[in-house]
Amino acid sequence: MTSKFTETPLNKIALLIDGDNAQPSLIDKILTETGKYGSVTVRRIYGDWTKSSMRGWKDALNINAIQPIQQFRYTVGKNSTDSAMIIDAMDILHSDQVDGFCLVSSDSDYTRLATRIREEGYFVLGIGRELTPKPFVNACNVFIYTENLIPPETTSKEKAADKKKMRKEKRIDPVPLLKGAYDMAVQEDGWANLATMGFYLHQLDPGFDPRTYGFKQLNQLIRNYSGQFELKFHEEDGRTVLYVRAKEQA
């Protein structure tokens, strides 16, 4: 089956949230990120709504028209939410209602689900914490870490600075990844289209996000490494297109 997904507002996206592994305070950000890839037509969240820990979702669900799906925990220590969400996802997949899925969870149990959906040619966006196991991240077309959705703390500048420092220390140097995407996108004249590079960056690492490195946009991240890359603007059919070229190292 050929891919149904193209980046246009006409695409229909199913948003499925593991309520045990998501934060209600980020629901607006999650909907915004998902909305970049299409219209969020299916909105469901799964969990045991008899538990006090799920009460924080009440207002967020009402405001954003998200349907809560009850799933009782039948065995102590076992999470039954994932099985309910997986079954629903497969039902939606085979009903041909949507063009893509957004799976919100940090649980590796959804790795096979994401893989199965992609095998059918559908787009898969994942949203979860930085501790999400890499197999689940790599099973998605694009994966967004919730830490990149949390606004900077304004109440304590010192605390915010410490958190930013800790994240920076855990980051992997993006230059090898940028060079890999550049090598895949480069044309005969030595220049690579920035948008094409962005596509290949997600092919190499679905979890790649300029925000992880403190930049809102890819061109800002690349400009930060001016010793390795240079940028140029080119007018094409009335629009400005950005190109990247790797500098020769002495």
- The pLDDT tens digits for 40-92 are 999 999 988 888 777 888 888 888 999 998 876 654 444 556 788 999 999 99
Q: Single out the residue of 133, 150, 161 nearest to residue 212, CA to CA.
A: 150
- pLDDT value at 184 more than 90: yes
Name the nearest CA neighbour of 100 among 92, 108, 88. Answer: 92
What would be the CATH architecture of the domain defined by 12-151? 3-Layer(aba) Sandwich (3.40)
CATH, range 170-246: 3.30.420.610
In the chain, CATH 3.30.420.610 sits at 170-246
96 Rama sector, left if φ>0, alpha if ψ -120 to 50, beta otherwise = left
pLDDT computed for residue 81 by the predictor: 63
Q: How confident is residue 168, by pLDDT bands cut at 50, 70 and 90?
A: low
- pTM of the predicted model, to two decimals? 0.80
Residue ranges, CATH 3.40.50.1010, the chain: 12-151
